[in-house]
Amino acid sequence: MDNQNDKSRETQTSTEEPKTILGALLDLGSSWASHGLNAGKLTLESSARMLDKTAKAVEGFARDFEKNRKPV
C-alpha cells in the first residue's frame, strides 16, 4: 500500500512540476514583455519631445531667414 502512495505522490509531483516551471516561465516572459513595452513607450515619448524641439528650431530659422531675405 505504501508503494502505491509513493507512486501516486511521484506522479502528482512530476505532473505539477512542469506546470510550475511553465507558469514561472510565462510570468517571466510577461514581465519582460511589459518592461520592453514600457521602455519603448518612454523612448518614443522622448523622441517626440526632441522632434518637437527640432521643429521649433527649424521654424525659428525659417522666420529669421524670411526676415533677413532681401528681395531680388
Give the pLDDT confidence of 24-33 residue by residue, as tens digits. 999 999 999 9
CA distance linking residue 15 with residue 68, whole number of Å: 80
Q: What is the structure's pLDDT at 49?
A: 98
pLDDT in tens, 54-65: 999 999 999 999
- What confidence tier does 35 reach under pLDDT thresholds 50, 70, 90? very high
CA distance linking residue 65 with residue 57, whole number of Å: 12
CA atoms within 13 A on the CB side of 20: 6
